[in-house]
């Protein structure tokens, strides 16, 4: 168990998508957080816990769920976790579609 101090950076925060490994501004990403109650989407981006980021694109989520996400979170995804995440995937636009928000 290693604990890194929180970093405070002023420039535009960039995050790496665990699905495609691209780096993008944080606001184009969705944070997923590992909590005591399981892995879930963190719409606020501020929930406590180990976090990982995915593009708001289905492709990346599908890829992430195959293993990269669990690896990034250092967690096993339970059936419940998967169900929750898959529910979220269903709200995402299909690949190539323009996001309306
Ligand atoms: Zn991606």
pTM attached to this predicted model: 0.79
At 34-89, the pLDDT tens digits run 999 999 999 999 999 999 999 999 999 999 999 999 999 999 999 999 999 999 99
DSSP structural state of residue 10 = -
DSSP structural state of residue 65 = I
Are 51 and 31 in contact by the 8 Å Cβ rule? The answer is yes
pLDDT at site 7: 66
Q: Is residue 33 part of a domain?
A: yes
What is the total count of domains within the chain? Answer: 1
Helix (H) or strand (E) holding 30: strand 29-35
Q: Is residue 36 part of a domain?
A: yes
Q: Give me Rg for the CA atoms of the chain.
A: 13
Q: Is residue 65 part of a domain?
A: yes
Q: Is residue 70 part of a domain?
A: yes
CA of 78 to the centre of ligand 1 (A): 22
CA of 15 to the centre of ligand 1 (A): 10
CA of 98 to the centre of ligand 1 (A): 15
CATH of the domain at 43: 3.30.1230.10
Q: Is residue 31 part of a domain?
A: yes
Q: Is residue 100 part of a domain?
A: no
CA of 2 to the centre of ligand 1 (A): 27
Q: Is residue 98 part of a domain?
A: no
Are 25 and 13 in contact by the 8 Å Cβ rule? The answer is yes
At 22-33, the pLDDT tens digits run 999 988 899 999
Q: Which domain holds residue 46?
A: 14-89
């Amino acid at each position: 168990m290693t604990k890194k101090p929180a970093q405070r950076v002023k420039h535009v925060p960039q995050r790496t998508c665990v699905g495609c490994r691209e780096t993008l501004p944080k606001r184009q990403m969705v944070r997923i957080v590992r909590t005591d109650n399981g892995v879930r989407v963190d719409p606020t981006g501020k929930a406590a816990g180990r976090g990982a980021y995915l593009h708001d694109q289905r492709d990346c989520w599908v890829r992430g769920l195959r293993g990269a996400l669990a690896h990034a979170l250092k967690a096993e995804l339970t059936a419940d976790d998967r169900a929750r995440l898959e529910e979220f995937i269903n709200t995402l636009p299909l690949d190539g579609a323009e996001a309306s928000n």
